[in-house]
Amino acid sequence: MRGEILSYDDVSGTGLISGDDSIRYGFALSAIQAGGVIATGARVDFVPEGLEATQIMVLAGSPAAAFGQAASSAYTARDTGGGYDFASAMLSFNGRLRRQHFWISWLILLGVSVVTGWIPIIGGLIGLVLIWPNLAISVKRLHDMGKTGWFVVIPWVATIIGFIMIISAVGMAIFTNPQAFESEDPTVALSMLGSMMGGFAVMGLVGLAFLLWIGITDSQRGDNKFGPNPKGE
């Protein structure tokens, strides 16, 4: 049967194909036959098994497939040659990113964040936009280490826990001893401050530890399931 690739998630290695019979079929990366390049909109030939597509062959005549092949070849040439490509590093979650290019990307994003942080409203919006490239470079750095990109949630979980600790500290101070809180008793303030500092410490230390882990750990030698070694080793 023939169909068209609707979507593909690099992290999970799964996607959807819209068959010519108007049914949507799930597929895994392992179902793509050798030489096939996944690209949204590419025409494919596949064997349906229930609602799962197997033995998927990307049709060479598909414009999307041709574009995907060209992009893949260009990416491989860039990433194994040791050169730094801004768009590939910061916008794509595909492949791997060596330590040097990770730090270049991280410093660029940090600089943009610091400069735009002084701009009211617009700076906040730009900060939200910068979440994408920060995630992209972190996920690809994890890929380069041979780790799943889902480890990128570690500092986010720590941030949530830290905020919970801070909010809990303020809440406990208000509800357990409201009179002392209203009278600005310094012991209550010190107790609340200690818990708040604990929350900030969790966020800061875990975030720093994660940054150093992905920023210092060397590339996994040779090819792995995420792509070729960006250093050519």
pLDDT along the chain (233 residues), means of 10: 86 86 90 79 90 88 49 42 64 87 91 87 86 92 92 90 78 62 58 70 88 92 83 70
Single-letter amino acid, residue 130: L
State the CB neighbour count (10 A cutoff) for residue 165: 18
What dotted CATH number matches 2-64? Answer: 2.40.50.140
- In b/e form, how buried is each residue of 96-123, taking b as 16+ CB within 10 angstroms? bbbbebbebbbeebeeeeeebeeeeeee
Q: What is the pLDDT of residue 177?
A: 61
Would you say 218 and 230 are in contact if contact means Cβ atoms under 8 Å apart?
no
CA dihedral over 56, 60, 63, 66, signed as positive or negative: positive
Tell if the pTM clears 0.75, that is, is over it: no
Q: What is the pLDDT of residue 222?
A: 84
Q: What is the pLDDT of residue 147?
A: 92
User: What are the residue boundaries of the structural domains of the chain, listed by start?
Assistant: 2-64, 84-216
| Burial grade of 185 (CB within 10 A; 0-12, 13-18, 19 or more) | middle
State the CB neighbour count (10 A cutoff) for residue 203: 19
Q: What is the pLDDT of residue 8?
A: 85
